[in-house]
Amino acid sequence: MAAVLEPYIYEGGIHKHGLILELLEDLGGFLVQKIPAATEVTLIMLIPDKDIHLMEELAIKLLGKITKLPLTGTEIAVVSPTLAYHHLPHSACDIAEFLRRGGANTNMIGLARGMGRRVALSGDYERKLINEHDIALFSFGTFSDCIINKKPKLFEGIDIPIVVTGAPDIKTEDIPNADMYIGGIGRVSHRLRKEPELEGLDKMNEMVSEMVGRVRKEIAKDPLAVLPARVMKEIKDQIPEIEHVLTPAPITIQLDGLRVKLPYDEFHKRVENIEFDEGPLLSEVAKVMPSKMKNYILIKIQRKSEVGFVI
């Protein structure tokens, strides 16, 4: 039985941070993202829960800080009705920024025709793109009538959990097809920095974490054939070209898969043929498909019930 991995972030000096990486490897954890910035480094990692105290001790020795990051390993779509200045940069960007502080990888998606009441609609391509993520967060506005009666048609065809943000205080049950509603974050045209606004964003992170927890529990009932973090490590080891990809997260971990930012046509065969020490190839435990985002590769890992074993 594989150890339960907990997401943590290490923030400290770049000096001797290799010790952290060595310990992580010894413990059987995974490095999700490494962000060096001048003399500082931020490491986002998954650590086996029984050995966290070892990591904490080392972090204290190196004068760094280790904190739990509940949203690590999730890719969240922040969907705003359009990309016009009515919705951006505030509040949609502020929402995305806060989710990233919680450890999530976010993608901002502005619908082409999501604005308005009667005329709001989403396209097939947009729906497919949103469905590639773990959670879709729709950022809506001020009026409860719009959120309850008109905007839910944008949720049609979305299969992943739907989180809705808006200004009014309404119940989740009142919004058809939404899985969670977070109030207090509506349309604003200034940066969210007043106390009640920041409180609202903190609450949002808490509630989104709760939603991630729900999804994780759901997955635990029928576990994944292989952990996404393990696949990430194998890709890094077996496809060295990934080191030359310049995006901030060349491999983005999702709750049940990964997005690999390499061109599909050129690399999908090699990704499919990734070998695990235990024997099977990646294509035997996961579906490798073209992503709707650019020409990236999307990997969705199959469940134990489908494959018959867990690596």
Least distance (Å) from another protein to the CB of residue 67?
33
Of 202, 199, 228, 203, whose CA–CA distance to 215 is shortest? 228
> Rounded CA gap, 156 and 139, in Å?
16
Count of beta carbons in the 10 Å neighbourhood of residue 255: 19
Check binding of 123 to another protein (CB under 8 A). Answer: no
Per-residue mark of binding to another protein, 203-242 (x: CB under 8 A): ----------------------------------------
Cβ(75)–Cβ(247) below 8 Å: no
SS3 218: helix
**Residue of the chain from 12, 29, 73, 81 that contacts another protein (CB under 8 A):** 81
Decide: 80 and 139 in contact? Cβ < 8 Å: yes
Q: What's CA 232's distance to the chain center, in Å?
A: 14
Report H helices in 34-163.
Answer: 52-61, 92-101, 124-131, 144-145
* Position 152 contacts another protein (CB under 8 A): no
Of these, 11, 21, 52, 143, which contacts another protein (CB under 8 A)?
Answer: 143
* Cβ 131 vs Cβ 163: under 8 Å: no
Select the residue interacting with another protein from 60, 63, 84, 112 (CB under 8 A). Answer: 84
CA-wise closest residue to 105 among 305, 250, 296: 250
Is 114 in contact with 121 (CB distance < 8 Å)? yes
Query: Residue 168, preceding bond cis, omega within 30 degrees?
Result: no
Choose the stretch contacting another protein; rule: CB under 8 A; options: 93-101, 181-189, 267-275, 296-304.
Answer: 181-189
Nearer to another protein, 172 or 189 (CB): 189
Q: How far is CA 247 from CA 250, 295, 297, in A?
A: 6, 14, 14
Of the pair 67, 142, the CB lying nearest another protein is at 142
Residue 196 in contact with another protein, rule: CB under 8 A: no
Nearest to 205 by CA among 70, 45, 5: 70
**121 touches another protein (CB under 8 A):** no
Instruction: For the CB of residue 89, give the shortest distance to another protein in the complex, in Å.
Output: 13
Q: Is 115 a residue that touches another protein (CB under 8 A)? A: yes
Q: Does 167 bind another protein (CB under 8 A)?
A: yes
For position 170 contacting another protein by CB under 8 A, the verdict is no
> With CB under 8 A as the contact rule, which of the stretches 76-84, 157-165, 212-220, 222-230 interacts with another protein?
76-84
Cβ at position 179, least distance to another protein in Å: 24
The reply on whether position 142 binds another protein by CB under 8 A is: yes
Q: CB-wise, 34 or 191, nearer to another protein?
A: 191
Asked if 89 is part of the footprint of another protein (rule: CB under 8 A), the reply reads: no
Q: Which residue lies nearer to another protein by CB, 36 or 116?
A: 116
Binding residues vs another protein (CB under 8 A):
81-82, 84-87, 115-120, 141-146, 167-168, 186-190
